[in-house]
């Protein structure tokens, strides 16, 4: 196994990647995406949130760079931003929600590391989705948990995802 070439944060930020890549402690990491089920589920989640953006006072964004620490940048599949937070080219304030859609080649170890980065940054709601098994998970410090009921929600807000309706978009 070869050792990855490390680059500076400045080099990462000055370089365009297509598709965009995560940056973890000097290493540029490709993200697993491009499969039909992944893309459709990501779109369904973003579309639901976008439909409700005004009433919920949110800004849903897809594949937006989030600086989770000094030397780590992640690109969640979907992020939910507070409409009142500062809008910058790179998100530096914890989003309300970060959503990750699993791809066939994702490992649980990699997904756990991504979710832990969001949690350590201060994101209070991290949701993961498996489009093939049509399952959703809440990620917290203890691991991945199935939601109670048929929706994911942000307590104390109107923000929610109706899972049967979201997964039906894959039919």
CATH of residue 67's domain is 3.90.1570.10
Domain-located, residue 3: no
Domain-located, residue 122: yes
Count of CB atoms within 10 A of residue 145's CB? 10
- Number of domains composing the chain: 1
Would you call 74 helix, strand, or coil by DSSP? strand
Range of the domain at 88: 32-168
Mean pLDDT across 139-166: 96
How many separate helices (H) and strands (E) can be counted in the chain? 5, 12
Q: What is the mean pLDDT of the chain?
A: 94
> What Å distances lie between residue 30 and 7, 23, 110, 112, 120, CA to CA?
14, 9, 12, 16, 21
| pLDDT reported for residue 106 | 87
Mean pLDDT across 53-66: 97
Quick one: pLDDT band at residue 105, thresholds 50, 70, 90? confident
| pLDDT reported for residue 34 | 67
Answer for the pair 17, 28: CB distance below 8 angstroms, yes or no: yes
Query: Using one digit for the tens of pLDDT, what is the confidence trace for 108-121?
Result: 899 999 999 999 99
Separation CA 100–CA 8 (nearest Å): 26
Domain-located, residue 89: yes
């Amino acid at each position: 196994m070869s050792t990855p070439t490390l680059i500076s944060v400045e080099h990462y930020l000055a370089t365009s990647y297509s598709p965009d890549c995560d940056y973890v402690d000097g290493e540029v990491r490709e993200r697993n995406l491009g499969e039909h089920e992944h893309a459709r589920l990501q779109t369904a989640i973003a579309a639901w949130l976008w439909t409700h953006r005004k009433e919920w006072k949110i800004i849903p964004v897809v594949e937006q760079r989030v600086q989770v620490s000094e030397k780590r940048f992640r690109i969640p599949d979907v992020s939910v931003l507070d409409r009142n937070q500062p809008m910058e080219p790179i998100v530096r304030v914890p989003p309300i929600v970060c959503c990750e859609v699993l791809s066939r080649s994702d490992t649980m170890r990699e997904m756990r590391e991504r979710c832990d980065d969001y949690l350590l940054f201060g994101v209070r709601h991290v949701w993961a989705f498996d489009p093939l098994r049509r399952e959703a998970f809440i990620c917290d410090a203890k691991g991945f948990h199935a939601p109670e009921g048929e929706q994911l929600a942000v307590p104390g807000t109107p923000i929610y995802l109706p899972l049967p309706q979201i997964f039906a978009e894959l039919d």
